[in-house]
Structures are given as structure tokens and as C-alpha cells.
Amino acid sequence: MPKLAIIGGTGLTRLKNIHIERREVMHTPYGEPSGALTFGTLCGKDVVFLARHGDSHTIPPHRVNYRANLWSLKEQGVEWIIAVCAVGGIRADIGPSCVVIPDQIIDYTWSRNHTFFETELASVTHIDFTQPYCQEMREVLIESAGKAKVDILSSGTYGASQGPRLETAAEIDRMERDGCDMVGMTGMPEAGLARELGLCYAVCAISANAAAGRGSGPITMDDIEASLQTGHDRVRAILEQAIAATG
Ligand code: HPA
């Protein structure tokens, strides 16, 4: 039974080196997840992989069925989740291909199905979200980066934007004033839903570009893809160490 799941973001629709045992389409009370769950082993350890944007990368951030994704993983006995997310760097030191393990979130998304605690409640439920990421999982990732000799930034505030368009320069200025270090479109409601289900969830963020108004020109998909490729090689090295540590 896999205890660890990896949710792949933009550019990570499959895990290199995973030894695939089976792929299964899941159904949940919230509908279908983004794609089939891939069960297999990585570095000899059981792991389940889910591509957040679907196997062919066709589901935009605001249309991802985050509830079905997390529910299906929980139903399979998953306890730990490493989520890989592409971001734009707001802070000057978060350049393209930089890997960050964020420790805080500011949520700017709207109109997404963001909670399991909606109907048929015995009583109104509020989860504690003071520390939005699982500290234990974050520490595993930070130590794994050290072992893999990958430079990372070990904290930062993730600003979750609605997308799918990128931000305006003024929106990024506002996010910076608010305290955001990076901006991405998928960090919420994923982290909040994971907490509602009691899952130990942390993010490996890869900077794909300098956020709007922070680089020298327009943000292009070509630049994003090139930075993500390097970033994913770094994240893979971290994941291999992390998997060894979570078994
Ligand atoms: N903004 C929001 N999400 C992103 C970005 C960005 O600049 N880059 C990659 N994901």
C-alpha cells in the first residue's frame, strides 16, 4: 500500500525511473481525479503518482478537481504527499529553475471548490492552517536536497493566483507588498484540502520565470518550459532522496 504520493505539476506528467505496476481510474464522491493514479515503485519504495493537469496536460489550474485528486489519494491509504508546483519568482533571488520549499501561503484564488466541509456536517468545522504545510515533510525535502547536493531555498511565501492568465505587474507589486515570495496557480486549494483530510503535504516549488514585471520582457511559454526542465531534474534528485527517507 503506497503511503507516499507525488503530485506532478506543469511539465511533470510522468515520473522518470518509476517502475509502473498498474494504473487505475478512480471515482470519488467529488467526481474524477485529473487522471488515472499510477501505482509503482521508485527507488524500491511504493509510490503513487498523479499528474495534476492530466496525463496530456490539458486541465488548467482553475479547472483541476482538487477535491477528487486528494480524496482518491487518501482512499488509497496515502499519508504523505509531495506536490510539485511551477511558480514565478517574485523575490529577486528566486530566479528561473530555482527550487523552493515554501512555508507559508496567501490565497488569492476564488470560486474553486476549496473544502470538504460543506454539507451534511455534524457541526461547522474549522481546520487549523496557521502552518499550512506539513513541517515533517518539509524537513524531509530540505534534508533530501542537502543529500542530493541541490541548492534550494528552504522557506518562502507562496501566493496562489487564480489563472490561467499570468498576473499584471501591479498585481505582482501588490503580492510582494503582502509578503509573497513566489506566485503559482495550483497551491490552493490543494494545501487546504490536504489539511482537511489530515494528509502530511508539502510543496517543491520550481521557479519557471521571473514574475510579471520582474524580468526583462514578456513571459513566454518557451522560457517557462526551458526553466522547468532544469528545475525538474533538480526536483527528481530531491524526490529520490525523499522517497528513501519516507519509507
Ligand atoms: N504566475 C503564476 N503561476 C505561474 C507563473 C507565474 O508567473 N509561472 C509559473 N506558474
Q: What is the CATH number of the domain that holds 55?
A: 3.40.50.1580
141-154 mean pLDDT: 97
Per-residue pLDDT band at 212 (split at 50, 70, 90): very high
Pocket test for ligand 1, best of 185, 206, 220, 223 (most atoms within 8 A of CB): 185
For residue 12, the Cα-to-chain-centroid distance in whole angstroms is: 11
Query: How close is the Cα of 88 to the center of ligand 1, in Å?
Result: 4
Mean pLDDT for the stretch of residues 185-194 = 98
| Count: domains in the chain | 1
Buried b (16+ CB within 10 A) or exposed e, 211-244: bbebeeeebeeebbeebbeebbebbbbbbbbbbe
pLDDT at residue 163 greater than cutoff 60 = yes
* Residue 246 reports pLDDT greater than 90: no
Q: Is 120 helix (H, G, I), strand (E, B) or coil?
A: coil
Amino acid making up residue 128: D
Q: Is the pLDDT of residue 2 over 70?
A: no
Q: Quick one: pLDDT at residue 18?
A: 84
- pLDDT digits over 29-56, tens only? 999 999 999 999 988 899 999 999 998 8
What's the CA gap between 148 and 213, in Å, rounded?
33
What does 39-89 look like in DSSP terms, one character per residue? EEEETTEEEEEEETTTTTT---GGG--HHHHHHHHHHTT--EEEEEEEEEE
Q: What is the pTM of this model?
A: 0.96
Least confident of 79-83, 106-110, 228-232: 228-232
Distance from Cα 24 to the centre of ligand 1, integer Å: 30
For range 164-170, the mean pLDDT: 97
Is 96's C-beta closer than 6 angstroms to any atom of ligand 1?
Answer: no
In angstroms, what is the span from residue 142 Cα to ligand 1's centroid?
A: 23
Place of cell 512555508: 103
Residue nearest to atom 7 of ligand 1 (CA): 88
Host domain of residue 80: 4-246
**Residue to mutate, 183, 203, 227, ligand 1, most ligand atoms under 8 Å from C-beta:** 183
Question: Quick one: pLDDT at residue 122?
Answer: 81
Q: Once rounded to an integer, what is the mean pLDDT over residues 116-135?
A: 91
Longest dimension (CA), the chain: 53
